[in-house]
Amino acid sequence: MRALSSIAVEPMRNLFLLSASLAAVAGAAHAQQGPSDPGAAEVEPIVVTGRARGYQALDTVTATKTDTPLIDVPQSVSVVTAEQIEDQGLRSVGDVLRYVPGVTVGQGEGNRDQITLRGQNTTADFFIDGVRDDVQYYRPLYNLERIEVLRGPYALIFGRGGGGGIVNRVQKAPSADAAFGEGRVFADSFGGYGAWIDVNRPLGDRVAFRLNAMVEESESFRDFVDGSRWAVNPYLAAEIAPGWNLGLSYEHVDDDRVPDRGVPSYLGVPLEGYDELVFGVPGVNRTTLDADVAKLRLDGRIAPGLSLNTTLVYADYDKVYANVYPNGPATSPTGTVPLAAYVDTTDRTNALFQSNLIWEVLGGPIEHRVMIGVEHGDQETDNVRLNGTLSDPTFSLTSPTYPTVTFGTDARDTFSRVTTTSVYAQDQIGLGRFFDVILGLRWDRFEIEGTDFLPTPDRAFGRTDEMVSPRLGLIWKPAENASVYASYSRSFLPRSGEQFASLTPTTQNLEPEEFENLEVGAKWDARPGLSLTAALFELRRTNATTPDPANPAATINVGETRTRGLELGVAGRVTDRWTVAGGYTWQDAVLDGNDSVELAQVPEHSLSLWNRYEATDRLGLGLGVVHQSDQWAAIRTAPTTTRLPGFTRVDAAVFWALTPTVDVQLNVENLLDEGYWADAHNNNNLSPGAPRNARLTLSARF
């Protein structure tokens, strides 16, 4: 792995020293004003996560980078709280997002999180505490306070990408208020098992430490598909001066699993009858990840109404992905399936800096919450791909025999360095009691330089793009508990794609893809603890590209796409004993001007609803349903495009309080043992849904 160059590190150092100097001067000035309140013994959370009540979230910092009530945010936002994640016994980001309406979970080639939001497929629009987390891997849940899903292009807040929306994980932060801890152990009927632990300890009046850790062994109903994973996340927070908090977090993730790319198609539908058969090679199909992420966060008050927050992240990711997979449709239900293979190694380092100055003018006839921010990022990526040679490239369905594989044919060998610099400003304006306006503008400079080592001689590639991204939101509040809004936002995606693999001589000369979103919606806190939302939107993507259905490793230009839709959401307590979370989405995603070309992995209708009912003070019952209508596995450009049938899956749970501090719960996924197709990567990588699976969890608080 190549080390970050001095050119890459120097701007980061200068920006961080500038913010640290501002913090030190402001902290010293504040200290001269006198001691802080002697009763203020709690270290404020380093990341403001907003307040949650069961399944209902009240505030967010993700959508605006300021602590803002969700009812005052002019966009569609879904929040999955830690309580909901625990109640449903969820174990992956994909599991969580299946219960978020409007999100289609992709297969991700069995090695990464991949989703489609408003017709836009992405592996990179993932963030942790508002900072980019764009490497391809499966993100664990053990250390999360909640997951927020923002829909629509929001380059103002997050920069490039985010065309259909983003997923932000909010990390659990230390607190000096009290010592607490929780441990969980679980096992499922497939043979998987694991444990999580969460311990918070004050180390004084103004210092706290929190440790989250997990280990798990996973099994599957699919032949030889299993895995193991462990992770640890120590987090130290301290009040270093009156009004100034510092947080230091480190996370290590170790993941080793068998990637599974599902089954092929036959005559435009998934091949039936082979749900347990894996079209890979035991001992060859394997993906490993070592991730190390260090984060420093500084928050403080410079003066009354003026605050600063700064985040610095350094992350190192080493990933290897080897796989054999179906490379075409089956010749017949009992015939043969073509296979292909490759191994891909990626080493990436991310050095990311973000700083926001927030000025609040409150109490007058016109209120302002002004944010001015800067970001800088340096990302270096080494990527090597070798194609595999199979002893037999056809796989017999009647007498399956796994071939041998050798990897030796160079397919890609690149090094790239991405440097980004951004400046942005936003003003949240309160115009009396009834109206709010959000105005924002962001300037991004995206520069990629790299080398393709396969040609002789080596071929250098590079491109620099400068983009301006606006945001406008109008909010009318006819009552304190209701709002109606309209918004416009824009984003862009450079031609190097999400993972900076390469620029060809052709794509190097093309303008970035652009996304524009128009949205109107309403939000209503129908009763204390219960929120209802509705949104209508139209998202247009210009200069659009998509994976080529005939060659998924390549892309094709499709021009302009359009996605229109309706989103409805509900979260919170219907009664003192009944809590719900879910919603419904209708989407129409097509090539603009040609409605017969439909976008990939966008079901027209999707619905999800999770319920928890407290039957007694000690007994709780859970029931959930997920429904998706038919969807295309790849963009519909030919009659042979594969269609995934719609499905309805029912999940259930039982909760029992053994003692005031010990609980046991049983979650059953796919209670009715429905046969269905869960997700896809392309026309011939189609994942059968898991049959009924029970998971028993024992948790104890201490």
What is the C-alpha separation between 192 and 179, in angstroms, rounded? 31
Contacts of 75 (CB under 8 A, 6+ apart): 63, 150, 151, 152, 154, 473, 485, 487, 489, 519, 521, 535
What is the C-alpha separation between 44 and 237, in angstroms, rounded? 9
Q: Contacts by 302-308 with C-beta closer than 8 Å and gap 24+? A: 302/22, 302/26, 302/30, 303/26, 303/29, 305/359, 305/360, 305/361, 305/362, 306/357, 306/358, 306/359, 306/360, 307/357, 307/358, 307/360, 308/19, 308/22, 308/23, 308/26, 308/355, 308/356, 308/357, 308/358
What is the C-alpha separation between 214 and 144, in angstroms, rounded? 12
| Structure-block tokens of residue 86 | 């625990």
To which H or E segment does residue 20 belong? helix 6-32
pLDDT at 510: 83
Q: What is the mean pLDDT of each run of 10 residues along the chain (702 residues)?
A: 36 36 34 36 39 75 87 94 95 95 94 96 94 94 96 90 92 95 97 98 96 98 97 98 96 98 97 96 97 97 96 97 97 97 97 97 92 97 96 95 94 95 97 95 96 92 94 96 97 86 79 94 95 97 75 69 97 96 97 91 97 96 97 91 97 97 98 97 97 98 96
Omega before residue 457 within 30° of 0, cis: yes
In sequence order, what are the beta bridge partners of 488? Answer: 472, 518
pLDDT at 174: 97
What is the C-alpha separation between 451 and 536, in angstroms, rounded? 44
Nearest alpha-carbon partner for 642 in 557, 550, 563, 560: 550
Residue-range domains of the chain with CATH: 6-701 (2.40.170.20)
Could you tell me if 247 and 46 are in contact, meaning their C-beta atoms sit under 8 angstroms apart? yes
Could you tell me if 188 and 217 are in contact, meaning their C-beta atoms sit under 8 angstroms apart? no
Model pTM score = 0.89
Could you tell me if 592 and 540 are in contact, meaning their C-beta atoms sit under 8 angstroms apart? yes
pLDDT at 631: 97
Structure confidence by residue, pLDDT tens digits, 285-333:
999 999 999 999 999 999 999 999 999 999 999 999 999 999 999 999 9
pLDDT at 46: 38
pLDDT at 498: 79
